[in-house]
Structure 1
Amino acid sequence: MPRRGDIRSRVWIPIMATTVALLTAIGGCGALDGSSNNPSGGGSGTTGPIEKPKLRVGLLPVVDVAPLYQAVEKGYFREQGLDVEPVVVASGPKAVESVISGEIDIAFTSYPGAFVAQSKGVANLKIVADAYAARPGHLALVAITSPTAKIKKPEDVAEKKIAVTSKGSISDLGVMSVLSAQNIPVDKIQWVPMPFQDMGPAMKSGNIDGAVVAEPWRTRTAKEFGAMTIVDVSSGPTANISMSGWAATDKLTSANPHTFAAFQRGLNKGVADVKKDRTVLEPILKTHIRIDEQTAPLVTIADYPERADAIRLQRVADLMLEFKVIGERLDVSKMLLEPTATN
């Protein structure tokens, strides 16, 4: 007849094994090592609570920002414990100003806007995530061609009035880089700051000779005004150059590491969606970028990088130095906010 201690051992050991198996199945390894999959605790792969659940993100109505809208609509940020509010701003430089002042938490901007502020010591910024990298057809200098048009080929651009959203941006820098590589003088081009939506009418009225437009405005000016591409910015020395990203102050990112790790994870899910399926992208273009149903399928889409690459971003800063937008070389690798966790 077995002793009482033997019976207790034979019963207790299976119970313990079953309990451990259940805990592992329910919570994964994190259930035993103290980490959490609860969104309010920062999401998978990080410990501690979300420090700042509400984020205001300044952006422009361009195709670059589609992954963020996808992440908002699909609840990818909510899964991470974040409430992300997109706020449309007038320009990339305005977004940078607003993030420095604290009006918004994260700014979508073309990289020159962030790099100028960093170089001049206006703010200590971090690149939270990459947004868009150039591919042929996305950003171009266009002009309305006619028998009396002032611009019909790249050589005609010298000394002409060309609209850009802001000076010292990837728009004018990219054009000058491409033209300079063809030995076309660029020092007397008259750059005219102007919102994208005003460029087509201004070309038609003759107030400007050409404009540097990003999608969807490249397709729109072609469709509505007959504008033709004169210079593709993603060519020659600027082929595949980084265009835009998401920036925040170092002070904010340092104080809220779990928040920004969660933002990166949520945004990456949006990037994965729009990269793999154009049928996911086009409804976002129609709803949030206000592209009409006929134009949306025609819009050229460049690349949505999965992470910021220091070498590719350095090309932008070096281009700014070449054209004296900044006074000394800026090491952009120090600005990158490295992902702290992944799903």
Structure 2
Amino acid sequence: MATLGAAACNGKSSAAGAAAGGAGHGPLEQTHLRIGMPKGELGALPIFTGVDKGYFKDQGIDVTVDDSYASYQDTLKALGDGKVDLVYDDYAHAILAQSKGNYRLQLVAEGYNAGDGSVELLSKPTNTRSEDQVRTVFKASQGFLVPMAGTGDPSTDFTVPTVMLMTRLPDIANSMKLKIDDSGTEAQAHLKTMAVGAIGEKLTGVLDANVAAVLPEPYFSSTSTTDKVVKLLDLTRGSTQAMPMGGYFAKQDFAVSDTNLFKAFTTALNQAKTVTSQRAAAMAELQAHYGTIATATVSASISFGTFPTTVSVDRVTRVLTLMQDLNLASFFNIDTMMPPDALRGQG
């Protein structure tokens, strides 16, 4: 954090003009880039790879990372307050924030797509069939523990894993009206938002068996190493298979004014994504940066997804489409947050 504070002036570096204009970009407008991310966010793992292997340095960028934030909202607030220049954020939360006019965001680079089995619905062991247990949990007040965006607003405190849960329960959604109204009160009767790092502990510590938790990696593997939980539902199937989870966002004005900086950043990030896609490298970075949650046992069992090296409008639109199906988002032109070089019509 001391390094972060030193970079907080965000002034134009005199060395920027000397930075090499490789990979199709000219001299960097500045050489410092402060990145904020929620703690334990698997999708942002390539950032650590890029720092550790010097890919950002090779592009002339001095990157500082603050991964102390408890929620996606906290990272966006830091961006709005000028404490960081770029954030890793969950797509559902970023779309809601943009559509409500709270922020003017631009997606600089896609972050992460869920892998098979990387988002699961867990509960304590019972003698009930999984399908029946899901229905029992639904009848319980706030029975589903879901990752929070941190907004404190029932109509905006949603993340992609939450949307995945709601989408995977169509019969329950239709018969018991999981779809929310504009105030969000219907969903709040069934969903309890929590910081993702606390969900596993809450699930295993509660006496009530009629509770289930949505857990993405690496928290799923960390929690499932105990014998206190069982898997009820794999949320990475059907319409939510390879689901886009999150990406890197900057303020639109900054993204437009410092185009060379962000071209250099994405060049280095794509190098890091390619390396992080190798399981051994990903496991090493996890153990180096993700603390006690990434023990050797947990790292070896994690179901990794993929790190896209392009921005696809169609891919990100999948999130918006599911949100609209659940009445979570009004009509919204997602192009307003896409970079000029985003791919269209290529899935």
TM range (shorter): 0.7 to 0.9
Q: Which amino acid aligns with 1:204?
A: T
Cα distance, 1:267 vs. partner? 0.3
Distance in 1, Cα, partners of 2:128 & 2:169: 22
Deviation at 1:243, TM superposition (A): 0.7
Cα shift readout 1:90-121 (whole Å, capped 9, x = no counterpart): 11222122212222111111101111111011
- 329-338 or 49-58, which moves further after superposition? 329-338
Which amino acid in the other structure matches residue 58 of structure 2? E
Q: Are residues 207 and 308 of structure 1, via their aligned partners in 2, closer, same or farther at CA, if it must alter by over 3 Å?
A: farther
Partner of 2:110: 130
1:97-153 per-position Cα deviation (integer Å, ceiling 9, x unaligned): 221222211111110111111101112211111111122211112112134899864
Distance in 2 between the 1:41 and 1:201 partners? 48
User: Given the superposition, is the C-alpha separation of residues 323 and 191 from structure 1 closer, same or farther in structure 2, using an over 3 Å criterion?
Assistant: same
The residue that corresponds to 2:262 in the other structure is 260
Distance 1:138 1:226 in 2: 19
Q: Which runs of 5+ in 1 are unaligned?
A: 1-37
Counterpart of 2:234, as a letter, is D
How does the TM-score come out when normalised to structure 2? 0.80
Task: Report the equivalent of 2:200.
Answer: 200
CA contact (8 A) 1:152 1:230 kept: no
Cα drift, residue 217 of structure 1: 0.7
2:159 matched residue in structure 1: 169
- Distance in 1, matches of 2:118 and 2:47, equals 19
Matched, 1:214 2:216: yes
1:228 to 230, 247, 258: 230
SS in 2 for 1:136: coil
Q: CA deviation at 1:336?
A: 1.8
Structure 1 vs Structure 2: percent identity of aligned residues?
A: 23
Partner secondary structure for residue 294 of structure 1: helix
Q: Per-residue CA shift, 1:301-325, capped at 9, x if unaligned?
A: 0111111211111111122222222
Aligned match of 2:153: none
Match of 1:191 in 2: 191
Output the amino acid matched with 2:306: D
Larger Rg: 1
Aligned to 1:143: 123
Letter in 2 for 1:307: T
Query: Contact (CA 8 Å) 1:128, 1:337: kept in 2 or not?
Result: yes
| Preserved CA contact (<8 Å) 2:119 2:161 | yes
Q: CA deviation at 1:159?
A: 2.7
- For the 8 Å contact 1:142–1:229, the answer to whether it is kept is yes
Residue in 2 that maps onto 1:320: 323
**In the alignment, does 2:61 pair up with 1:79?**
no
Give the residue type in structure 2 aligned to 1:146: T
TM-score by length of 1: 0.81
Aligned residue pairs total 300
Which residue does 1:7 correspond to in 2? Answer: none
Q: 2:80 aligns with which of 95, 100, 109?
A: 100
Pick from 41, 46, 49 the counterpart of residue 25 of structure 2: 46
Structure 2 segments unaligned to the other structure (5+ residues): 1-16, 149-156, 179-185, 343-347
How does 1:11-50 map onto structure 2 within 5 Å?
A: 40-47=19-26, 49-50=27-28
Q: Is the 8 A contact 1:162 1:210 kept in 2?
A: yes
Structure 1 pair 215–273 and aligned structure 2 pair: CA distance change class (3 A):
same
1:270 corresponding residue in structure 2: 272
Shift of 1:63: 2.0
Rounded to whole Å, the distance in 2 between the matches of 1:44 and 1:70 is 19
